[in-house]
């Protein structure tokens, strides 16, 4: 299929700037050319003309770099659901993310490798959803954070084996739960649960197999151990010290703050349909203010940042609003959800920008997010892999799927 998209404003995510009055040529799912609009040109393809409305903003598809599709974000009892129910919820949450412009997402853990089946369903075309990177089961200390879905380990050898088990499932990256968390009854965000030796063993095996290591590390000495081991990204990082931030800059470690996840529990947790536990609310009430401080310091210091939501689906715009509210310029915020995220995921040769050779993941926003970031909640159109999948809030469902080749 061939398309031409004409734009009054197009976001250049690589340079965090706007290009005006351009047309994007798309063929066979890829961007093949970008040029100034030629009003006299005749094209033998479908044309989407947004050039006469300065309030329509064309930009790359969004990337949510940290989420858990298995969670609905409201009812903690869902953690005990049977696997088929979890799989259905993953599909539902993926659609919610696609509707708000997320064309790529990184799922940071699910029980029993349900995420492996979800990714396969996407690959075969059985279901709609954002392109998805998976980690399988997060690796955790016995009794540690997220026991309901984690691969529990004790000792260096068991840690290495746990990584190999995830690699056997052909995961895209490895996820570790190093510190406690706001939902952990057995620890706190600043207390380490995995040992330094266990972390090192996991990183060694993952890096030997060219896989990134993403780490749930909210604060304390556990963050230092992760940085010493050479992990690729710190997730959450609510209690980062100046020394840890400095080391992240020097090592090029990525930071995915997930601001909205903590903020939402602190501010809304007691009032949602199924209230959060008082333990979680109390932890987040303390943490979310320090979280903002850590984020501001990390940005000011030059830490590489990508945007992620954690467990609230269809809400990436809420994360972007907080990032902007804490002092990051809007164009840099958009970069965190596009080009930065693509670089962190090592997919910048394929996605994250609108330029020739890239996959045609493109969204149209109603309004100018460089002036008002809140308009990121209003998505007019979503193109994924060169196909229109969402238009005016309506999903175009997949109608056929691939078959496995005959062996």
Q: What is the DSSP string of 53-81?
A: -TTEEEEEPEEEEEE-TT--SS-GGGGGS
Answer whether residue 133 is part of any domain.
yes
In terms of DSSP bridges, do strands 102-107 and 17-27 run parallel, antiparallel, or are they unpaired? unpaired
pLDDT above 90 for 187: no
Query: Which one has a higher pLDDT value, 402 or 389?
Result: 389
- Same domain (yes/no): 304, 326: yes
pLDDT band at 184 (very low <50, low <70, confident <90, very high): confident
For tokens 């016995």, name the residue.
142
Determine the 3-state secondary structure of 82 from DSSP: coil
* pLDDT number for residue 367: 97
Q: What are the backbone dihedrals phi and psi of residue 52, each rounded to the nearest 5 degrees, phi first?
A: -100, 10
Tens-place pLDDT, residues 225-280: 999 999 999 999 999 999 999 999 999 999 999 999 999 888 888 888 778 888 88
Tens-place pLDDT, residues 355-378: 999 999 999 999 999 999 999 999
- Same domain (yes/no): 19, 112: no
CATH of the domain at 251: 3.20.20.140
pLDDT above 90 for 186: no
DSSP letter (8 states) at residue 377: G
Answer whether residue 398 is part of any domain.
no
pLDDT above 80 for 404: no
Specify the number of domains making up the chain.
Answer: 2
- Same domain (yes/no): 86, 207: yes
Tell me if 69 sits within 8 A of 117, measured CB to CB.
no
Tens-place pLDDT, residues 138-177: 999 999 999 999 999 999 999 999 999 999 999 999 999 9
DSSP letter (8 states) at residue 129: -
- Same domain (yes/no): 149, 239: yes
Smallest CA-to-CA distance from 61 within 125, 130, 107, 1 is with: 130
Give the residue numbers spanning the domain of 387: 2-61+352-392
- Same domain (yes/no): 66, 24: no
Q: Global pTM?
A: 0.96
Answer whether residue 17 is part of any domain.
yes
Sheet with 62-67, side-by-side order of all strands: 62-67, 102-107, 131-133
Determine the 3-state secondary structure of 175 from DSSP: strand
Q: What are the backbone dihedrals phi and psi of residue 387, each rounded to the nearest 5 degrees, phi first?
A: -125, 135
**Pick from 344, 368, 402: which residue ends a domain?**
344
Determine the 3-state secondary structure of 156 from DSSP: helix
Other Cβ atoms closer than 10 A to 81: 16
- Same domain (yes/no): 323, 374: no
- Same domain (yes/no): 101, 29: no
Percent of the chain with pLDDT over 70: 100
Query: Which one has a higher pLDDT value, 265 or 220?
Result: 220
Tell me if 293 sits within 8 A of 299, measured CB to CB.
no
What value does the mean pLDDT take over residues 329-347? 98
Tell me if 315 sits within 8 A of 321, measured CB to CB.
no
Tell me if 148 sits within 8 A of 80, measured CB to CB.
yes
Give the H or E element holding residue 391: strand 387-391
**Torsion angle in degrees (nearest 10) through CA of 101, 104, 108, 112:** 110
* pLDDT number for residue 407: 63
* pLDDT number for residue 182: 84
What value does the mean pLDDT take over residues 220-225? 98
Q: What are the backbone dihedrals phi and psi of residue 62, each rounded to the nearest 5 degrees, phi first?
A: -80, 155
Answer whether residue 314 is part of any domain.
yes
- Same domain (yes/no): 202, 279: yes
Answer whether residue 160 is part of any domain.
yes
* pLDDT number for residue 266: 87
For tokens 């493109």, name the residue.
362
* pLDDT number for residue 69: 97
CATH of the domain at 14: 2.30.40.10
- Same domain (yes/no): 309, 193: yes
Tell me if 177 sits within 8 A of 150, measured CB to CB.
yes
pLDDT above 90 for 82: yes
- Same domain (yes/no): 278, 378: no
Q: How far apart are CA 390 and CA 406, in angstroms?
A: 33
**Pick from 328, 344, 360: which residue ends a domain?**
344
Mean pLDDT, the chain, integer: 95
Answer whether residue 406 is part of any domain.
no
* pLDDT number for residue 6: 97
DSSP letter (8 states) at residue 372: -
Answer whether residue 128 is part of any domain.
yes
Answer whether residue 239 is part of any domain.
yes
For tokens 């200390």, name the residue.
141
Work out the burial of residue 18: count CB atoms within 10 Å of its CB; fewer than 13 is exposed, 13-18 middle, 19 or more buried: middle
- Same domain (yes/no): 81, 190: yes
Tell me if 90 sits within 8 A of 119, measured CB to CB.
no
Sign of the alpha-carbon dihedral angle for 351, 310, 89, 314: negative
Query: Which one has a higher pLDDT value, 44 or 403?
Result: 44
Q: Choose the weakest-confidence range: 16-30, 91-105, 280-294, 330-344.
A: 280-294
- Same domain (yes/no): 53, 181: no
What the block records as the tokens of 372 is: 């008002």
């Amino acid at each position: 299929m061939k398309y031409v998209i004409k734009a009054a404003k197009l976001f250049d995510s690589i340079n965090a700037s706007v290009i005006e009055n351009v047309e994007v040529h798309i063929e066979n799912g890829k961007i093949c050319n970008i040029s100034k609009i030629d009003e006299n040109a005749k094209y033998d393809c479908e044309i989407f003309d947004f050039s006469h409305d300065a309030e329509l903003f064309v930009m790359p598809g969004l990337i949510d770099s940290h989420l858990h599709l298995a969670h609905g974000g409201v009812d903690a009892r869902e953690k005990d659901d049977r696997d088929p129910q979890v799989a259905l919820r993953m599909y539902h949450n993926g659609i919610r993310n696609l509707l708000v412009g997320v064309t790529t997402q990184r799922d940071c853990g699910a029980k029993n490798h349900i995420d492996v089946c979800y990714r396969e369903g996407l690959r075969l075309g059985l279901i709609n959803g954002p392109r998805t990177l998976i980690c399988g089961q997060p690796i955790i200390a016995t009794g540690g954070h997220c026991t309901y879905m984690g691969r529990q380990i004790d000792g260096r050898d068991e840690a290495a084996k746990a990584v190999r088990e995830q690699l056997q499932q052909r995961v895209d990256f490895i996820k570790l739960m190093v510190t406690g968390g706001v939902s952990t009854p057995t620890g706190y965000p600043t207390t380490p649960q995995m040992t330094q030796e266990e972390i090192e063993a996991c990183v060694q095996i993952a890096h030997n197999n060219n896989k990134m290591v993403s780490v749930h590390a909210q604060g304390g000495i556990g963050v230092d151990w992760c940085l010493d081991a050479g992990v690729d990204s710190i997730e959450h990082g609510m209690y980062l010290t100046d020394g840890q931030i400095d080391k992240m800059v020097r090592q090029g470690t990525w930071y995915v703050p997930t601001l909205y996840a903590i903020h939402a529990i602190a501010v809304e947790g007691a009032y949602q349909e199924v209230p959060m536990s008082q333990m979680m609310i109390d932890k987040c009430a303390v943490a979310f203010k320090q979280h903002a401080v850590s984020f501001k310091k990390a940005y000011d210091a030059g830490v590489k940042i990508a945007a992620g939501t954690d467990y609230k689906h269809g809400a990436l715009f809420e994360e972007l609003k907080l990032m902007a509210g804490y002092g990051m310029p809007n164009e840099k915020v958009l970069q965190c959800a596009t080009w930065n995220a693509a670089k962190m995921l090592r997919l910048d040769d394929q996605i994250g920008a609108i330029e020739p050779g890239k996959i045609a993941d493109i969204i149209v926003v109603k309004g100018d997010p460089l002036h008002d970031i809140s308009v990121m909640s209003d998505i007019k159109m979503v193109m994924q892999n060169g196909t229109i999948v969402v238009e005016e809030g309506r999903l175009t469902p997949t109608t056929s799927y691939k078959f496995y080749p005959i062996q």
